[in-house]
Amino acid sequence: MLDCTDRHARYFMRQISHHAVMYTEMVTTGALIHGDRSRFLDFDNAEHPIALQLGGSDPAAMAQCSAFAQEWGYDEVNINVGCPSDRVQSGSFGACLMQTPALVADNVKAMVAEVDIPVTVKARIGVDDQEPREALWVLTDAVANAGCNVLLVHARKAWLQGLSPKENRDIPPLDYDLVYELKRDFPELEIIINGGIKTIQECQQHLTEVDGVMMGREAYSNPFVMSSVDSALYADDRAMLSRQEVLDVYLAYCEKQLQTGTRLNHLTRHIIGLFHGESNSRLWRQHISDHAHKAGAGLEVLRDALQKLLEANQYQQLRQEQHSLHH
């Protein structure tokens, strides 16, 4: 979820679900050790529970960055063993680490020794010509013995040669049954399934076989799919905010961010899908896309976009009522 789940996106999503665990974008160890640490690690207290996802393969560097995560107040630190991008491969981390399970275990061991927060691993079921039933089992056994109790599994292979990162999200077939089988063989571990999951009903179905569900692309493009998570999966019967109420909270957040110099389009790109599936949502998306990137753009862009949406819906409702009266 590079370029997606930044702190603005997570704050926005937290207004829709109080309980779902938020994961950061993958941050490389080099960025944290040599770069602007606050830029990558700062987050709002509202975002808890939150996990920092690390990209790296050097145990000493991963341990050092885990210590940063604990110091900053993260609830979990996660090793990415699933990202297939060329940039990640050239750094010898991400999905290519599926080929070196002993190295992943060395990283887990070093990180567990450094911090008290949970160290977790996010993996694919295999890469390239690996036999998933062998590769995933070997990796799971290795990291479990090193002190990792939680494995998040994207239930499809990654093809490091021949497919783009985008194609790797869709083309390799999903194999949910394999992840279920992994849970049966490692009942003591917490196994969380990921990949192609689009509805809360699907989540509930998976939860009869595994311990948790990770939803990524669908939650980002259709954020209000998360609005029933708390009641359906966490037995929290508090009234959830409506789309407009979520927007009101986020507008107040945006106002503060704009005052610190954040550009409006960095804030609005995460909420394009807020009205996904609603009548005339195209008007909302279009107005934001046309205006949020302009120099000096402010909250009026969002207010105007909402106004266009509401007016179109009112007009549509009026036409339907007139049509009903006519007939």
* Domain match, 156 and 284 both: no
- What's residue 262's pLDDT? 96
CA distance 276 to 270: 12
* Domain match, 230 and 94 both: yes
What's the CATH number where 315 sits?
A: 1.20.120.1460
Q: Which residue carries 């107005």 as its tokens? A: 287
Q: Quick check: 85 pLDDT over 90?
A: no
| Residue 96 falls in the annotated catalytic set | no
Choose, from 4, 65, 83, 254, the residue flagged as catalytic.
Answer: 83
Range of the structural domain that residue 107 is part of: 7-234
* Domain match, 19 and 154 both: yes
* Domain match, 284 and 309 both: yes
- Lookup: tokens for 307: 């106004």
**Would you say residue 152 lies in a domain?**
yes
**pLDDT bucket at 87, cuts 50 / 70 / 90:** low
- What's residue 318's pLDDT? 75
Condensed to tens digits (0 to 9), the pLDDT of residues 35-82 reads 999 999 999 999 999 999 999 999 999 999 999 999 999 999 999 999
Cβ(26)–Cβ(84) below 8 Å: no
- What's residue 61's pLDDT? 98
50: helix, coil or strand?
Answer: strand
* Domain match, 127 and 274 both: no
Please state the domain count of the chain.
2
* Domain match, 221 and 251 both: no
Mean per-residue pLDDT, 201-210: 98
**Would you say residue 2 lies in a domain?**
no
What's the CATH number where 144 sits?
A: 3.20.20.70
**Would you say residue 1 lies in a domain?**
no
- What's residue 168's pLDDT? 79
Among residues 234, 265, 289, the one where a domain terminates is: 234
**pLDDT bucket at 326, cuts 50 / 70 / 90:** low
CA distance 170 to 88: 19
Contacts of 151 (CB under 8 A, 6+ apart): 120, 121, 122, 123, 140, 143, 144, 182, 186, 189, 190, 191, 192
Backbone angles phi, psi at 80, to 5 degrees: -85, 115
* Domain match, 19 and 88 both: yes
CA distance 101 to 95: 11
CB-hemisphere CA count at 13 Å for 266? 14
CA distance 268 to 154: 28
* Domain match, 249 and 193 both: no
Condensed to tens digits (0 to 9), the pLDDT of residues 267-317 reads 999 999 999 999 999 999 999 999 999 999 999 999 999 999 999 998 777
* Domain match, 81 and 225 both: yes
* Domain match, 125 and 84 both: yes
Among residues 202, 234, 266, the one where a domain terminates is: 234
* Domain match, 122 and 252 both: no
**Would you say residue 117 lies in a domain?**
yes
- Lookup: tokens for 282: 């195209």
* Domain match, 135 and 195 both: yes
The residue type of 142 is A
Q: Quick check: 86 pLDDT over 90?
A: no
Among residues 234, 253, 275, the one where a domain terminates is: 234
Condensed to tens digits (0 to 9), the pLDDT of residues 150-201 reads 999 999 999 888 788 888 788 889 999 999 999 999 999 999 999 999 999 9
Instruction: Provide the strand spans (E) within the chain.
Output: 22-28, 50-55, 76-81, 119-124, 150-154, 190-194, 212-214
pTM, full prediction: 0.92
